[in-house]
Structure 1
Amino acid sequence: MGTSFDPSRSVPLQRRFRMSDGVELIGDVWGTSDLPPALLLHGGGQTRHAWKRTAAVLADRGYCAVAVDQRGHGDSGWSADGAYEIDHFANDVRQLAAGLPAKPVLIGASLGGMASLIAAGEADTSVAAALVLVDITPRIEPAGVERVRKFMAAHIDDGFATLEEVSEAIAAYLPHRPRPKNLDGLNRNLKLGKDGRYRWHYDPAFVRGMSARADGDREARLTAAAQRLRIPVLLVRGGSSELVSEDIAREFVGRVPNARYVDVHGAAHMVAGDVNDPFTEEVLAFLDGLSNL
């Protein structure tokens, strides 16, 4: 990575993608369309801005990085009928991938990883050149999942009076992260309502349906999809992840062809947000290895 490159100053182009059911997704694109594409899908409750620094570095290193707000998140449209089953997210991934000039590397965190895994593993024909799963596997720790759900559901109706309140809630949830001195960056994940209160930038219907969607067949389905993959797979695990233990990671790579995993120390479940530069370097090392195959 050149020392003169400052990813924080890189400005993407915004694109709109209309899905087959009419939901419009908003994405940011770094790099030109003639470069190998990388499609970045964030986790539940996040937005495309979670990938900003990584996407800018990918573009600087010769990739066209496309980061998209998933349905019901960020600036993308909300489903009028609450269409937030994993199949809806997976179908979005397939449509997004099909609209790119070449098969992309899918880079998915949590929800984005599950959607990417199903999109790639259940497709009759290959939709991706490779897959990067960010702290997500078919089997995950139930206690960690419940902690994520509780955080996302808290204040879902009443919101927050100030950005300081938001910062306090994040600090309690992510005590390992340094608190930002400038709170303006929080606005990317919030929307200010007419009542003057801040709320997370996702559809409450998505969160309210999370428990109902977490059925017992999900692990078996994701495992079957993973075992069908015939593309290179990298699992990037947060070294202190509350969802993916080291045993789970080893189990995953033992079952999935062409898979390996790396730990990113100092990171919990939200790896890219916890220690972005080490995370990005692991992804780049994986992508550079693909070019040598």
Structure 2
Amino acid sequence: QTCHTWDLFAAAMAPYFHVMAFDQRGHGDTDWAADKDYSRKTMVSDVLAFTRALGLDRFFLTGMSMGGANSLSFTANHPERVEALVVVDIGPRVETKGVQHIRDFMTTYREFNSLEEAAQVIHRYNPRRSLEVIRQFTVVYNLKQLPEGKWTWKYDPYFSDGHRRVDVKQMQTELTAEVAKIRCPTLVVKGGESDVFSLDGARSLQEAIPDSEFALVPGAGHSVMGDNPPGFEAAVRAFYQKKGYLPA
């Protein structure tokens, strides 16, 4: 994933908010970490540094998957900065098989002869998205061309080479403790067809945060905002309207 994951949602929210998205270290066009430090603690410190550099004292925070876990941690540790939180298809409890499914895809398909070949492969893996959407919003931002002409993912392969394995039990322990600190209005979003974040896991997260809502977006897998952009936008818009952040 890259910051362009949020392009359609950002466009929908732009009339009401100043929307910013950035690539976390090792992703998209942000540099790979020379010391290979991709811990959640360090990524949260990156978010803090990013917002401080831009003079953002208080803001709305939205994150998905790894970015969602980082957002939960950030909100727990810097509550004075987060007005409201939207966390997408992630929580303390994740499904190991779903995580492995993503990892298997990324390690199986490392290089492509062309962007079109990449688009076809991605479409077979996730047919919820049209080829047109994949061509326009996925391959052009997620891939880079190698000197010999082939295309590969922009992310640091350290993530998929087994070095940064997600320790599900450790993640559950750490995030559970942090989630208990969150008090701001929070929307927990789950993809209706996600195999990474179960309904029980989503409900458990919602119940752990006092001022929280839950939204199930149909026709979406783990990458909710890309699989069903209108459904995701509608869920977030309804949440913001209910909390008085957007006009009804």
Same fold (TM over 0.5): yes
Residue 229 of structure 2 is aligned to residue 280 of structure 1: no
CA contact (8 A) 1:94 1:127 kept: no
Measured in 2, the distance between the counterparts of 1:230 and 1:76 equals: 31
For 1:63, which of 6, 12, 17 is the aligned residue? 17
Q: Quick one: structure 1 residues 127 and 279, their matched pair in 2 at CA, closer, same or farther if it must change by over 3 Å?
A: same
Higher RCO (Cα < 8 Å, 6 or more apart): 2
CA contact (8 A) 1:97 1:128 kept: no
Residue 123 of structure 2 is aligned to residue 171 of structure 1: yes
Measured in 2, the distance between the counterparts of 1:67 and 1:292 equals: 19
**Aligned equivalent of 1:113:** 68
Q: Which amino acid aligns with 1:196?
A: G
Higher share of residues assigned helix: 2
1:94-243 to 2 correspondence within 5 Å? 94-98=48-52, 99-123=54-78, 125-156=79-110, 159-180=111-132, 183=135, 185=137, 186-209=139-162, 211-214=164-167, 216-243=169-196
For 2:219, what is the secondary structure of its paired residue?
coil
Residues 134-185 of structure 1: CA deviation (Å, up to 9, x unaligned):
11111011110111111222233xx111223212321221133332288365
**Aligned equivalent of 2:213:** 260
Q: Considering only aligned residues, what root-mean-square deviation do their CA atoms show, in Å? A: 2.0
For 2:173, what is the secondary structure of its paired residue?
helix
For 1:236, what is the secondary structure of its paired residue?
strand
Measured in 1, the distance between the counterparts of 2:133 and 2:61 equals: 33
Q: Quick one: structure 1 residues 182 and 228, their matched pair in 2 at CA, closer, same or farther if it must change by over 3 Å?
A: closer
CA contact (8 A) 1:268 1:274 kept: yes
Q: When the two structures are superposed, what TM-score results if normalisation uses the length of structure 1? A: 0.77
Measured in 2, the distance between the counterparts of 1:166 and 1:245 equals: 29
Residue correspondences, number: 244
Give unmatched runs, 5+ long, in structure 1.
Answer: 1-45
Q: Quick one: structure 1 residues 104 and 163, their matched pair in 2 at CA, closer, same or farther if it must change by over 3 Å?
A: same
For 2:81, what is the secondary structure of its paired residue?
coil
Higher share of residues assigned strand: 1
**Deviation for aligned residue 1:259:** 1.6
Between the aligned residues of both structures, percent identity stands at: 36
CA contact (8 A) 1:134 1:237 kept: yes
CA contact (8 A) 1:149 1:210 kept: no
Residues 94-136 of structure 1: CA deviation (Å, up to 9, x unaligned):
222334434111100001100111111133x522111100111
**Aligned equivalent of 1:87:** 41
Measured in 2, the distance between the counterparts of 1:210 and 1:277 equals: 36
**Aligned equivalent of 1:289:** 242
CA contact (8 A) 2:57 2:81 kept: no
